A = this chain, B = another copy of it.
Amino acid sequence: MRKNSKEAIVSAAISLFNTRGFSGTSIRDIAGKAKTNPANISYYFDNKHGLLEYCFTAFFEGYIEEIEMGFSLMDQGAALSLKKIAENIMAYQFDNSHLTRLILREISIDSQVVREIMSTYLAKEKFYFSKVLERGLKTKEFRSHSANYMIIQLKGLLSMPFLNTHYMAEVLHVFPHEKYFAEKYTKEIFNWIDGVLCNHHAGKPYAAVL
């Protein structure tokens, strides 16, 4: 019962933060939507900032796990490992699309909680990405590149559809919540890895190895 109430609060908060913005949402609004009382929110999260911090932590704990699962395949090749990481991130963001949208927007604001996330989870993310990119250079799977510029691009490709769900639906008529999208777009990211990052014809095809 208590767990359900906590989940209801988080889910109501994500929905309100996404429509009214973080500052435009009050604890009272969240309590109303979650059908609980404000004191209950204080009990679990202290205040609105605690609630946002909880969302960040919940998102990035799962996110880093997905990266680690792909990273663990590095012995089978850097391209394969990077593709698995990208595939896992896509599936994770697809399964948590509202939370992902909130996080991708809030991470662009310079706040205390964001600085903490950067020095922990995002530093870890960079570590894993850099290791895979280095490895691919060493094995000549990847052509010569600047790791940081590759990370920027990969993160841009992975985040765009989840941050801009309304644009996607209204302007492009592409629906990121549909399974078809996740599959097709994951292939597009594989194309980026093959076309931009890989030495042509040097990599093994993904499907044949996994």
Contact = CB atoms under 8 A, between A and B. Distances in A.
A73 B113 CA distance: 46
A126 B192 contact: no
Interface string A17-48: 01111111000000000000000000000000
Nearest to A150: B188
A137 interface: no
A208 B105 CA distance: 40
A122 B19 contact: no
Contacts of A96: none
Interface string A105-118: 10111100011001
Contacts of A115: 170
A138 interface: no
Interface in A82-131: 101, 104-105, 107-110, 114-115, 118-119, 122-123, 126
A185 B149 contact: yes
A155 B157 CA distance: 9
This chain: how many copies in the complex? Answer: 2
Nearest to A170: B118
A152 B174 contact: yes
A110 B19 contact: yes
Contacts of A172: 126, 148, 151-152
Interface of A: 18-24, 101, 104-105, 107-110, 114-115, 118-119, 122-123, 126, 146, 148-149, 151-153, 155-161, 163-164, 166-168, 170-174, 184-185, 188, 191-192, 195-196, 200
12 contacts: A18-B109, A22-B24, A118-B171, A126-B171, A148-B172, A148-B174, A152-B168, A152-B188, A153-B157, A153-B192, A155-B164, A156-B158
